[in-house]
Amino acid sequence: MNKKQLLPVAVVLLTSQPVVASVSSSFDVDSENWQIVSFADFSQNNYSIIGQYQPSYVSGGGNPGNYLSATDPDSGDFTFSAPAAFLGAQTGATGLSYDLTYRDGDINWQTTDVMLVGNGQRLLWKRDPNIIPNSGWTHISLSLAPSSEWRLGTTDGVFASQSDFHNVLSNLSGLYIHGEFTSGIMETAGLDNVVLQTVPLPGAFWLFGVGFAGFLSFTRKG
């Protein structure tokens, strides 16, 4: 194979290498180390953890396949807590999506829907309009970028800035999805198809550019 024939092969090999893959949980086999964490009261900005529990792993009935389930374990706000695979250096993260099902309660409790924690800061996302889950599956998608739906620190804090996102995502230590939408009863929520979307790191493009330029130089010399 001569150098001209090698060129398209090299392009395919270089561009086909995955740089950064999105992190996801579809719960096809098990709970993937997700947990249930209960906080004192999101609506009162009380983020003290009052309980940690194991979710129920449900075979069938997901969207599709299997899914995680949790029944209100205590008097706090229960959340689905992401495992280590979703945490750490996540500055390339651009969005989060998940499917939620909800049973056994009228929707009368609306507060923080997603909480991100990292580097001593807390980012709170509350969708507008409200999320209204039901006994079917509701798909929820959000951008990890400044908007009127993101607050810093508390539910009435300032709008989160781009630097706030960078600070939190550079060392993400907690990702929590709220599972409680009714006050005063033992309701049940289910979670499926969680995806933390990412983009390739800038350094990867730089490495590709350097390698490709070197290859072109090599072929021209021939």
Q: According to the model, what pLDDT value does residue 205 have?
A: 42
State pLDDT tens for residues 173-200. 999 999 999 987 789 999 999 999 998 6
The 10 Å Cβ neighbour count of residue 74 is: 12
Higher-confidence residue of 221 and 83: namely: 83
Which tokens sit at 21?
């893959």
Query: Is the confidence at residue 16, as pLDDT, over 60?
Result: no
State pLDDT tens for residues 69-81. 999 999 999 999 9
Cis peptide before 129 (omega within 30 of 0): yes
Q: According to the model, what pLDDT value does residue 105 have?
A: 74
Higher-confidence residue of 209 and 164: namely: 164
Query: Is the confidence at residue 151, as pLDDT, over 50?
Result: yes
Which tokens sit at 206?
């730089």
Dihedral class, residue 4 (left if φ above 0, else alpha if ψ from -120 to 50, else beta): alpha
Q: According to the model, what pLDDT value does residue 76 have?
A: 95
Higher-confidence residue of 206 and 40: namely: 40
Beta strands in the chain (DSSP E): 23-25, 35-41, 46-53, 56-58, 67-71, 77-81, 93-103, 114-118, 121-125, 138-143, 150-152, 172-178, 188-198
Residue 72 to residue 16: CA distance in whole angstroms: 45
| % of the chain surpassing 70 pLDDT | 80
CA 23, distance to chain mean position in Å, is 8
Cis peptide before 146 (omega within 30 of 0): no
Structural domain boundaries in the chain? 1-19+201-222, 22-199
Angle, helices 202-221/3-15, rounded to nearest 10 degrees: 180
Q: Is 19 exposed, middle or buried (0-12, 13-18, 19+ CB in 10 A)?
A: middle
Q: Is 124 exposed, middle or buried (0-12, 13-18, 19+ CB in 10 A)?
A: buried
Task: Report the topology of domain 22-199.
Answer: Jelly Rolls (2.60.120)
Q: According to the model, what pLDDT value does residue 21 have?
A: 65
State pLDDT tens for residues 1-11. 544 444 444 44
Q: What is the mean pLDDT of the chain?
A: 86
Q: According to the model, what pLDDT value does residue 202 have?
A: 56
